[in-house]
A and B are shown apart, each in its own frame.
Chain A
Amino acid sequence: MEKKFLKHFFIQVCVLLALAAAVVIVIDPFFHYHSPVSPLKAVVTKAEYQCVGTIDHFDYDSILLGSSVAENFNNRWFDDCFDCKTVKGIKESGTTADLIYYLERAYESHEIENVFYSLDLFALYADTQPTVLGDGMPLYLYNDNPIDDVKYVWNKTVIFEHIPYMAAMSLIGDYDEGMSYNWGQYKTFSAADTVSRYNRLSEKAEVKSADEYVDLIDENISLIEEQIKAHPETNFYIMYPPYSMLWWDNIYMCGELEQYFYALEESARRLSQYDNVRINYYQAEESIILDLNHYMDNIHFSEAINAWMVEQWNTQEYALTSENYTEYVDKMRILVDEIEAYHIKEYYE
């Protein structure tokens, strides 16, 4: 009796586990094995789980790299503007090393025509080792080891949540595949919300020396520069996203302004000297950064701003070059002075 019981138990377990694995492998909501199989759509909502899969297996020739402020870009805006096929390489609070990791990964399997790089100043003094390969990340999706794939194929969250969600989004309604990782649709943007989320220091901190992070900033810029030099066939479109005036006020109050200006000036100087690089500098656009209604907190702006950023590539209005980059830096310095002298006083006395 026990022998029969054991035999049945093990066969049943093997069959059910094989079935579970087969369902996950075929539908593959994290695209670990392949791009979505028709009629399923590329339902992309969890960057840490899906980014590497989309980079490895999707059909594209351009990649958009950035942090959370880049998540609300619609891939299609870039496709239309540059006549290309774009995929996102997003890491929330992503460091330069994280984004370069995605880029290197993209180069391993694709020929990349365009890189759209949303360059965050704070990412320039982050650790130069990728955090995407750190503890707590689903590394089983990042490596080629089939053994640890058990964490994916025998995962009830994948089976009970992500597969039904992917199926529902694909088959019901009109899911826009370009809106990968978009969070803007769920948020409200207003000056009142933005101000309420900003904890302004009551006193200005001691001014920190720009030297403190110089080495780290230089190393981070080098990470980008190395890719630009290594891939002259790729066009790099670098954007400095427009943080709100509260963000600038915060670094002013924290005494970190000089460090950020060093990061800005040095990155602009070094990256603008290459023929395959175009840079747009949006941070000094007063109509945006002074109007807090565009934001939900001091850094995150609405989708409309993302759309506007893409549109500006059709003009030369925000182009930063090796000739004019100091003008932009000076303009930004004056603007920060004005923010501290006038604009911030609208909200904080």
Chain B
Amino acid sequence: MLFNSYIFIFLFLPLALLGWYLLNYMEKYKLAQMFLVGMSLWFYAYFNISYLAVILLSCALNYGMSWLIAKKDTPVFRRIMLVMGCVVNLGVLGYFKYYDFFVENLNALLQTDFNMKNILLPLGISFFTFQQLSFVIDRCRGESEHYELLDYLCFVTFFPQLIAGPIVLHTELVPQFQDKSKRRFDVNSFAYGVAWFTFGLAKKVLLADNLAPAVEYGFTHITGLDTLSAWVIALSYTLELYFDFSGYCDMAVGIGKMFRIEIPDNFNAPFKSASVKEFWRRWHMTLGRFFTTYVYIPLGGSRKGKLRTVVNTMVVFFLSGLWHGANWTFVFWGVLHGVAVAVNSLQAGLSQRMLSGEGTGKSVLRVLYRRMAQIFTFLFVCIAFVFFRSDSMADGIQYMKQLTRWGISERILIVSNCLEIPEIYIISKAISMTVDSLLPYVNLAAYLVLLLVGFTLISGKTTRERLTERKLTIGFSWKLTILFVWSVLSLSGVSTFLYFNF
């Protein structure tokens, strides 16, 4: 089930909230948790019921390991469980997500002909696997207690964070489910939750989804792009991805608040970063936290010299790339970021002091330096995302050629025409009936407005800053109403069925 769907907004979510608060009000706390787990499994199985077996098996295995540790708590047994936990979790993830990728590369490398299985990837497997892996590792390290089954299932399956994160730690969620005082309805938390959800929904359906057709056009017609359209589409994709993912995370945080469960932020104005290293402290923060805690630091982090720091950084970003998808494009994207972060880590002297603002000259210069660094970081991120979006390395490299091959045509007008924004239909139609030649420029203007809104938002406050500073007034309720209704009306569209090429 998607957050941005009628069934979720008008049926599932009200039902889940009603059942949760009603059962807790009746002090049926266990039943309330069972209800929430049941609803979360419905949410998960809505896409494909066969996915249920995978998540339930994964929960059973990890919870079982925790139970075994509780029964036999010796250092050796913990070590065995640690190895087992990693093998089982990464084995399941590897099978479902990377089997075909592995076979494909093996066949290419050894000229063999092993069959691929075309395995259907269970939704959110990367997220709930990492979440549970962190739990098992903490159990083996002795940093976590064994939880009650219902608490554990609530932690793993809680639907707001189930299929696309944030990657929430057990230490963040389980205590909240155990806290009975959080089971009472709180109007303040609920109101902010509604606002948070609406902001996220609007980011997703009004911004990301409107940019998507232009991006789709660009990445399916790479060789036809001129320099300008290639750059505009690369920027558009960066915005689309950000609004899509951060919109989803805002909705998750908002729903969490409606349940009085705090879910951590996943983004903190990432495009204000003045270095790629800083970008990774602001972008997909819970993934960065996972890799830092469970990979980078155990490998030695930055404590073992510069070379090891670089190696450890590259390992983390290689894995991060691979985690995002079974394709060399993701790996390359990860490696690109790894190199940039490694360079940032090794940077010393003026540039770093300038960025941090320590003991440098005039403040104007410092600000200017930071602005320049922000622009370069943003451009680097945009370029790297080209590989993230490309279907193959060949496509990514071709796109790079389009970006750097100088040439301007009217391609940007064709790209703009892909947007098909219903809100400007009347204007477009009126112009097409009067001065038809102006129509492409109207679409271009709409595209530019969309990009401008996007840039304004990414350079402004985060959702948290916007909402925590704001009082929930009647005036704000009107603004939120319009945003919500506009978003709901945007959930459905009318397609054009193209059946033959005129």
Contacts and interface: CB of A to CB of B under 8 A. Distances in A.
Interface of A: 1-6, 8-9, 12-13, 16-17, 20, 46, 48-49, 68, 92-93, 136, 138, 150-152, 154-162, 164-165, 168, 183, 187, 197, 296-297, 300
B425 A161 contact: yes
B485 A16 contact: yes
B494 A154 contact: no
Contacts of B406: none
A103 to B, nearest CB: 21
27 contacts: A1-B471, A1-B472, A2-B188, A5-B472, A5-B473, A5-B474, A6-B190, A8-B477, A8-B478, A9-B480, A9-B481, A20-B485, A20-B489, A46-B494, A48-B497, A92-B497, A92-B500, A136-B495, A150-B492, A154-B489, A154-B492, A157-B493, A160-B422, A161-B422, A162-B494, A164-B429, A165-B425
Interface residues of B, number: 39
Interface of B: 6, 10, 187-188, 190-192, 194, 422-423, 425-426, 429, 471-474, 476-478, 480-482, 484-486, 488-495, 497, 499-502
A244 B388 CA distance: 47
Contacts of B500: 68, 92-93, 297, 300
Contacts of B499: 68, 92-93
Given A150-B6, A150-B492, A297-B502, 16 more contacts: A1-B471, A1-B473, A5-B473, A6-B194, A8-B474, A8-B481, A12-B481, A13-B481, A16-B482, A68-B499, A93-B500, A138-B494, A138-B495, A156-B493, A183-B502, A297-B500
Nearest to A17: B485
B481 A156 contact: no
A5 B425 contact: no
Nearest to B422: A160
Contact of B494 (A93, A155, A187): A155
A13 B484 contact: yes
B248 to A, nearest CB: 21
Nearest to B474: A8
Most buried by A among B473, B481, B493, B494: B494
Contacts of A20: 485, 489
Contacts of A48: 497
A187 B500 CA distance: 14
B488 A17 contact: yes
A2 B494 contact: no
Contacts of B482: 16
A261 B486 CA distance: 55
Nearest to B490: A156
A158 B410 CA distance: 31
Contacts of A183: 502
Contacts of B497: 48, 92, 136
A9 B426 contact: no
Nearest to A183: B502
B6 A5 contact: no
Given A13-B481, A92-B499, A155 B10 contact: no
Contacts of B486: 156
- The 10 residue pairs across chains A and B that have the minimum distance between CB atoms: A5-B472, A160-B422, A2-B191, A156-B489, A12-B481, A157-B494, A151-B492, A8-B477, A161-B425, A155-B492
Nearest to B485: A16
Contact of B489 (A9, A155, A197): A155
Contacts of B492: 150-152, 154-157
B154 to A, nearest CB: 26
A4 B475 CA distance: 11
B422 A156 contact: yes
A157 B497 CA distance: 15
Given A4-B474, A5-B472, A187-B502, A151 B489 contact: no
Contact of A154 (B6, B422, B471, B502): B6
Given A20-B489, A46-B494, A154-B488, A165 B429 contact: yes
Contacts of A46: 494
B478 A160 contact: no
Contacts of B488: 17, 154
Nearest to A94: B499
Contacts of A12: 477-478, 481
A9 B194 contact: yes
A101 B501 CA distance: 26
Contacts of A138: 494-495
